[in-house]
Amino acid sequence: PWGPEADRAVAEWAAKATGATVTLIEENGTAHTYAGPSADAPVLRLRRRGGDFVPLLLRTPAPAPVPKPKTPTDGSVPGLPGEEEAYELSTLSGTEPQPQPQPHGGTDSDADSDSDGEEDPPIWADPEWLTAVFGPQWNRAPRARLQETSEALHALVEEVAGGRSTRAGLADLIRQVLHLPDRAGVTNQDVLDLGALALEASSDDLATAEDLAVYFVDRQIETRRDALAEETLLRTAEQASAERTPAGQTSPERTPAGRDFTGADRGLPAPDSYLAERSGRVAGQSAPWRNPYLFVAGAAAGGGVEIVTPWRTFVVRDAEEMARIISYDSRRPGGADIVLALPPAFAAQVADLVAGTTARPVWYPLGQAEVATHPTTGAAHLVVHRRAGETGPDWSTPPPPREPGLPGARDLSSDSDSDDGRGSDTDSDSGSTSDGDAEFDRLADQLQWERHTDVLRARPLITRDYEVVDDSGTGVLFTEPGPRTVGEVRAAGTAEGPALVLPHETPETVRTADRPPLHISEDRTVALLSAGDDTTGRGRQVYATRAAIESSSARLAAAGAGVRPAADPSVRVVLAREDGTPGEPLFRVEPRFFTASGASEYAFTRDFARMVAGTDAPPLSHLAFRTPDGTVATAPVNGLHGREVTGTHHLAQGLTEVADGTRNGTDVTPDWAARQVGRDSRFTGGVVGAPTPGEAYGEALRHTQDNALRGPLTRAAARAGVNEYAWAEVGEGYLIQSVSTTNDGGAQLFTHNHAKPGDPVGPHAPYHFAQVVLASEDGSHQITLENETHSRTPIPEEQLDAALDENLDRYDEDRLNALAQESEGRAATVRRDGAAPAEIARLEGFARAARALAAVHEAEHVRWYFTEDRPEHALAQSEVDRARARARDAVRAAAPALDDKDQWFFRAYSKRPGESAHAVNAALLSDRSPAVSNPLTTVALHGHALRPDRRTVRFAEQQHTPSADADENLDALALSLARTGLWNHANGLPLPTVTVTGHGNRSRASGRKRAEAVGKALGERLARLLRTFQDGVPGPHVRLSDFTLTLDAQRVRSA
């Protein structure tokens, strides 16, 4: 890791490479000097500022007129005339010797002074002015610097005065530059502080009052004065020296943990919690951040924040200035989250800039925040004040920055130009281009990239601080599919009875006593089993508040979904608050399937999603594109193919072209995305006619330092509402489509994951679906119901052969036939008793396996009659092989493993970085291999269009009432209209229209009657579905009258 020794090595190399005398100033103030080749070599000073290496460049001020000769000067005063600080990040350049200013002495100037003695000197050269502004020791300042500074500062005063007195202009300039509060008056010390600041500034900083005001903030960053002084630091509590410090050693320095700009000295609050106050009631909450570095400041009159230090109080109203103070605080530990206890509106602006600059998570409050002390204990607490009725999280964090933040503490564009008039080309030619310099730049770039990437990693909210109320008495909190093993399995399912050695999966239980970690939502209304610190939770059960369950159930009903969250009130989880009071109970939830069997009936991810989406298993019909501003667009698609959904590869190609600059990124909108999908004119995927941009698209997705396409691709995804910006609501779903590559023959390949270098080449899932069935009360976290078979492997042949051999060694042919007969008898008995079909099938499968094993014994006995040199031996061996193959199939079928269709699971996603459906399934920043390759993630809608979209209702001859055969068509049409209408209404889209055309036999009147009959029957069905779907959903509701139904009639020759 980079440390002080590395800094010293760079400084030593700089002295040799540039011919300068290099002085390295470490963060603790220690100076190390590395001499150049000669005594008159230029001097270069380097200073470490946090993660940046800042050179202090030599500059030569422009010559200035000389004051009256009576002004005392002392050219022998020690110092570094002409030295000025440069904040922008730079390599070691600009160190060549600079011509030093020559004193304007000599006989000519003396004669001129004598001859002009009768003229009054300019105000900026008057000793009275110099004493007032620069103090009584002004004559000890370097002569040229003093002249230049005094003249420039006086010019600013005159400009600000605008015709008023110099005193008035000076006071206004001080208020502006020193950021004085509105109520503060200007003191003599303020005047001297302005003069001291001006002497440290460059000519660029003295160009305007605004530039000097910026320098006031920047100088604090470089010198760690005022706001960034040691006195404003918040530090962790002292350690007990008797316990942690060896004898004879001093206690280690307390770690910096933030800044207190209020001057109240209330101390450092607890880092892992805060208090939320609503209507005078205070509740403890777990903090969403990790390793926080806290900034506390109060609101200033007129906006911004007020910063109180032991030396001055000043106001920062510009968000960019505050962001510089926070971003470039060199005492902030690496890897710390930044927490802003600032006024909410101002904090939100600052947080966005700081996040882009530091590439660290930045948290800001959604209400007034402060550090308060407990009235009895005196302990400091971070408090957020919320209005009554406000729900949801108390803290927020900006999304991952799409643009880089502040370029540096200061961005001085003129620093690349030397004061002797040479341009930037000359300067760049004189800069160092050595290998060491390039390595330094490479390391700095890599560090910046790692910081930006770290923001995107998943940091799920995990807790073990909860209580369990288990009225059932089982002590089981979760169940999980167990590992596949080989062992004894008894036909009766008890400890006694006949047994075979079979592969089997025994479900495992996660017990309450084990105190498993829970992944929880920010509002603590949803929880499920944690799957690790770097990914979201996954399990067969989820826990949620009653409000979250009821709200999600109503939305699933409105979508016509085929599943509901079923709450089990006998097992409840209560998440603890910081103050020890219990929160709302979270009830155990499992899915209730609306299928004929009451259980899952599909294993394949697409078909499972259809089953969850609706009781009629509606097919995938549309992709939806939605942005946070409410813009929505949909595009019809076809998902009947088992590997590709139509339109997805066209969309991936369009996004890739935006990323590489072929297309204009500003054109990307949800409508643009829908048009890209609509370019696919094929009826179904998987056939010729689609692009295969998997390689280019995947390379644009990857998280590598040299990938310049990821930024444009991410911004395009945000504008289209795809990938990490795709957010499905309850009743909707996700489609994660692998974008394929191709071989020389043109075949689609899903084997190469170009989005994740190092991912093994091999089969990947062509696509994956996930349906949202539950959401937290604040909507920021959601639970999906999923099933997938692409990552599951069948029972290996070796395991089956081992089970066969074990059974053949244990039992002879007669014993196996007896086992089969006994199991068949048990199956007949339980069938008569009305047992469940699954129990009957288990016993029959056990009997078939025993008979198949007995057949292997029989075949082997036949083989033993013939020696290997006889032709009958080969025939007998073939029969043995066939018998073993049949036995393997029978053992595989009898193995008591969880069926693929029943291996569904809940999965958690959220709006936090790294926790979207796209980020979790793509797994680009984790060590695990993802199931999908080059993923494109969109919101998927089921059943929003009939296939075909035109239905025919037949009538008997001379009849005007639909026959019973028409019910199926009318029911399907009404269901599609209800599902589509409710979704469109919720998303601000127009409701679908229906045209009913009646055909009359040589009579338009007859056709009109038939159209009216169909319209009436359809309307009754649609009205009934609307009432059912919206039962329990807050209004206003969609009604039948909101749909447009057009009746038409046509006269035909035969109808």
| 558, HSE (Cβ side, Cα atoms, 13 Å) | 25
Q: In the predicted model, what is the mean pLDDT of residues 937-957?
A: 82
CB atoms within 10 A of CB 14: 26
The tokens for 560 are 């016509």
Quick check: 42 and 21 in contact, CB under 8 A? yes
In DSSP terms, 282 is beta-bridged to: 277
Q: In the predicted model, what is the mean pLDDT of residues 817-822?
A: 90
Alpha helices in 93-250 (DSSP H): 107-115, 127-134, 143-161, 166-177, 188-200, 209-223, 241-244
- Residue 256 belongs to what H/E stretch? strand 256-260
- Residue 707 belongs to what H/E stretch? none
Quick check: 112 and 79 in contact, CB under 8 A? no
| Range in 239-248, 361-370, 433-442, 742-751 with the lowest mean pLDDT | 239-248
DSSP, collapsed to helix, strand or coil, labels residue 390 as coil
| Cα 532 from Cα 528, distance rounded (Å) | 12
CB atoms within 10 A of CB 822: 18
Quick check: 764 and 754 in contact, CB under 8 A? no
- Residue 1052 belongs to what H/E stretch? strand 1044-1052
Model pTM score: 0.60
Judge whether residue 821 has pLDDT over 50. Answer: yes
| Cα 919 from Cα 725, distance rounded (Å) | 10
Judge whether residue 1 has pLDDT over 80. Answer: no
Q: In the predicted model, what is the mean pLDDT of residues 416-432?
A: 38
Judge whether residue 345 has pLDDT over 80. Answer: yes
Q: In the predicted model, what is the mean pLDDT of residues 533-543?
A: 92
Judge whether residue 434 has pLDDT over 80. Answer: no
Q: In the predicted model, what is the mean pLDDT of residues 604-617?
A: 92
| 929, HSE (Cβ side, Cα atoms, 13 Å) | 13
| Cα 141 from Cα 196, distance rounded (Å) | 10
Quick check: 977 and 1038 in contact, CB under 8 A? no
Quick check: 98 and 420 in contact, CB under 8 A? yes
Domain positions in the chain are 1-49, 57-85+100-193, 227-236+256-396, 463-794+904-942, 807-894, 964-1052
The reported pLDDT for the residue numbered 402 is 56
| 120, HSE (Cβ side, Cα atoms, 13 Å) | 5
pLDDT band (50, 70, 90) for residue 703: very high
The reported pLDDT for the residue numbered 335 is 81
More confident residue, 77 or 885: 885
The reported pLDDT for the residue numbered 442 is 66
Judge whether residue 182 has pLDDT over 70. Answer: yes
Residue among 878, 847, 851, 886 at smallest CA distance from 862: 878
The reported pLDDT for the residue numbered 722 is 97
| Range in 57-61, 548-552, 868-872, 897-901 with the lowest mean pLDDT | 57-61
More confident residue, 663 or 91: 663
Identity at 81, one-letter amino acid code: P
More confident residue, 36 or 478: 478
CA angle at residue 242 from 240 to 247, to 5 degrees?
Answer: 130
Judge whether residue 240 has pLDDT over 50. Answer: no
Residue among 896, 879, 904, 883 at smallest CA distance from 795: 896
| Cα 909 from Cα 364, distance rounded (Å) | 22
> Locate tokens 């937290």: which residue?
776
Residue among 327, 338, 330 at smallest CA distance from 296: 338
DSSP, collapsed to helix, strand or coil, labels residue 309 as coil
| Cα 1001 from Cα 1051, distance rounded (Å) | 6
The DSSP 8-state label assigned to residue 629 in this structure reads T
pLDDT band (50, 70, 90) for residue 850: very high
Quick check: 432 and 483 in contact, CB under 8 A? no
| Cα 218 from Cα 985, distance rounded (Å) | 53
The reported pLDDT for the residue numbered 28 is 60
Share of the chain above pLDDT 90, in %: 41
The tokens for 35 are 């001499």
Judge whether residue 417 has pLDDT over 50. Answer: no
Phi, psi of 600 (to 5 degrees): -65, 140
Quick check: 995 and 1042 in contact, CB under 8 A? no
Quick check: 387 and 405 in contact, CB under 8 A? no
pLDDT digits (tens, 9 = 90+) for 731-763: 999 999 999 998 877 788 999 999 999 999 999
The reported pLDDT for the residue numbered 53 is 52
Residue among 552, 479, 524 at smallest CA distance from 905: 479
More confident residue, 102 or 18: 18
pLDDT digits (tens, 9 = 90+) for 504-518: 887 889 999 999 999
| Cα 1041 from Cα 378, distance rounded (Å) | 64
The reported pLDDT for the residue numbered 658 is 94
In DSSP terms, 1046 is beta-bridged to: 995
Identity at 746, one-letter amino acid code: G
pLDDT digits (tens, 9 = 90+) for 640-686: 999 999 999 999 999 999 999 888 888 999 999 999 999 999 999 98
Q: Which residues contact 629 (CB under 8 A, 6 or more apart)?
A: none
The reported pLDDT for the residue numbered 219 is 86
Average pLDDT of the residues of the chain: 82
Judge whether residue 691 has pLDDT over 50. Answer: yes
| Range in 487-501, 541-555, 775-789 with the lowest mean pLDDT | 487-501
| Cα 46 from Cα 987, distance rounded (Å) | 58
Residue among 102, 87, 83 at smallest CA distance from 20: 83
Quick check: 58 and 98 in contact, CB under 8 A? yes
| Cα 297 from Cα 207, distance rounded (Å) | 31
- Residue 470 belongs to what H/E stretch? strand 466-470
More confident residue, 792 or 677: 677
pLDDT digits (tens, 9 = 90+) for 103-121: 344 434 444 444 444 456 7
Judge whether residue 527 has pLDDT over 90. Answer: yes
First-last CA distance in the chain: 86
In DSSP terms, 782 is beta-bridged to: 775, 909
Judge whether residue 790 has pLDDT over 50. Answer: yes
171-186 exposure pattern, b = at least 16 Cβ within 10 A, e = fewer: bbbbbbbbbbbeebeb
pLDDT band (50, 70, 90) for residue 249: very low
The reported pLDDT for the residue numbered 136 is 72
Q: In the predicted model, what is the mean pLDDT of residues 416-430?
A: 38
DSSP 396-458: E-PPSPSS---SSS---GGGGS-TTS--HHHHHHHS---HHHHHHHHHHHHHHHHHHHHHTS-
| Cα 325 from Cα 350, distance rounded (Å) | 10
The reported pLDDT for the residue numbered 947 is 62
pLDDT band (50, 70, 90) for residue 62: very low
The tokens for 872 are 């009958």
Out of 427-431, 544-548, 987-991, the most confident range is 544-548
CA 367 to chain centre: 23
The tokens for 649 are 């590869």
Out of 30-34, 255-259, 917-921, the most confident range is 917-921
Q: Could you give the C-alpha distances from 847 to 554, 797, 803, 817, in angstroms and in order?
A: 47, 21, 16, 8
Quick check: 552 and 976 in contact, CB under 8 A? no
The reported pLDDT for the residue numbered 106 is 42
The tokens for 533 are 């610190």
CB atoms within 10 A of CB 556: 23
Residue among 143, 322, 152 at smallest CA distance from 221: 322
Phi, psi of 10 (to 5 degrees): -65, -40
pLDDT digits (tens, 9 = 90+) for 66-75: 443 343 333 3
The tokens for 551 are 């709200």
Q: Could you give the C-alpha distances from 95 to 17, 43, 98, 430, 997, in angstroms and in order?
A: 10, 7, 8, 9, 87
The tokens for 930 are 């993802």
What is the 3-state composition of the chain as percent helix, strand, coil, each rounded to the nearest 5? 35, 20, 45
Q: Which residues contact 303 (CB under 8 A, 6 or more apart)?
A: 317, 346
DSSP, collapsed to helix, strand or coil, labels residue 168 as helix
Q: In the predicted model, what is the mean pLDDT of residues 823-849?
A: 88
Phi, psi of 15 (to 5 degrees): -65, -40
CB atoms within 10 A of CB 850: 29
Cis peptide before 498 (omega within 30 of 0): no
| Cα 973 from Cα 967, distance rounded (Å) | 10
pLDDT band (50, 70, 90) for residue 423: very low
The reported pLDDT for the residue numbered 495 is 60
More confident residue, 251 or 347: 347
Quick check: 738 and 788 in contact, CB under 8 A? no
Judge whether residue 306 has pLDDT over 90. Answer: yes
Judge whether residue 91 has pLDDT over 70. Answer: no
pLDDT band (50, 70, 90) for residue 239: very low
| Range in 522-536, 773-787, 952-966 with the lowest mean pLDDT | 952-966
Quick check: 417 and 62 in contact, CB under 8 A? no
Share of the chain above pLDDT 70, in %: 84
